[in-house]
Each structure stands twice: as C-alpha cells, then as structure tokens.
Amino acid sequence: MRNHPILISESELSRLRGLLFPRTRHEHDQQHLRELQAELDRAVIVEARQMPADVITIGTRVGVRDVTSGELREMTLVLPQQADIGSHRISVLAPMGTALLGYREGDEVEWAMPGGLKRLDIEWVRQPVERGPPAHA
C-alpha cells in the first residue's frame, strides 16, 4: 500500500464503489477488495476536468517497468467487464490494476501481488481522447 492518497474523480469513485459491493466474492478476493476500499476511503476527490494528465485513471494507457527484471509492460486500466489480458487491458479490480490506480508518471509502485511483492516504475501515462483536455499538474 502507498503512503500518499490517490487522486480520483467523483464519478470514478462512484463507479468503483459500485463494483465493490453488489457481488458475492470468493474468500481469496476479500483481502484485495479491502485494500481497494481502503485506497478509495483515503482518496483525494477532484473534478474530472481538474484531474492532472499524468494520473492513472480508468481508461488510461500506461507503461510500467518491473524494477527487478527491467521488463517494460504496456497496459490499459479498465473496468472489470472490459478486461482482456491478451489485449493488455487490466481490470481495476485486479491487484495490479488497484496498485496503479491514482499513481502518476514517474512514481514507483510497490504492491503485494499474487506472485509476491512487485515494484514498478511508471514510465509514461496516456489519457484516452474522450477524457478531454488535460489539467495542468
């Protein structure tokens, strides 16, 4: 988990909170969902149009480098129903998706994944065109 709160828009917060509660989850998912809930509880809420362009939000394309292996991965953070590993579309409810949410270009992410602790450098962030003009950081 991170020490600083994530930045999130009010509309995105509402969508994410809605994803957490309506379904019965497997027991092994419960700890991860509690971590996502904790991140949302401490989030700083901003208007969507005020979201800095370098913050990872739903729909953001991101390039991350594994600190240990040096491997660069590109992915898009999406809602669960849009997830497709083959297309590099990762669910915001997946451990890595939750880990990336709210971080910024240049940050280092450290998060417990199913395969162990991962450290990732966020090399670049690209917002979807439909988000509109980016706010200045």
CB atoms inside a 10 Å sphere around CB 111:
17
Query: What pLDDT score does 124 carry?
Result: 97
Banded model confidence at residue 17, pLDDT cuts 50, 70, 90: confident
Q: Is the pLDDT of residue 5 over 80?
A: no
Q: What is the mean pLDDT of the chain?
A: 84
Percent of the chain with pLDDT over 70: 83
Q: Taking the model in full, what pTM does it have?
A: 0.82
Query: What pLDDT score does 137 carry?
Result: 46
The Cα–Cα gap between 137 and 126 comes to 14
Banded model confidence at residue 1, pLDDT cuts 50, 70, 90: very low
For the chain, the distance separating the N- and C-terminal CA atoms, rounded to the nearest angstrom, is: 23
The Cα–Cα gap between 62 and 46 comes to 21
Residue bearing the bigger pLDDT, 121 or 27: 121
Per-residue pLDDT tens for 68-112?
999 999 999 999 899 999 999 999 988 889 889 999 999 998 887
Q: Domains along the chain?
A: 7-128 (3.10.50.30)
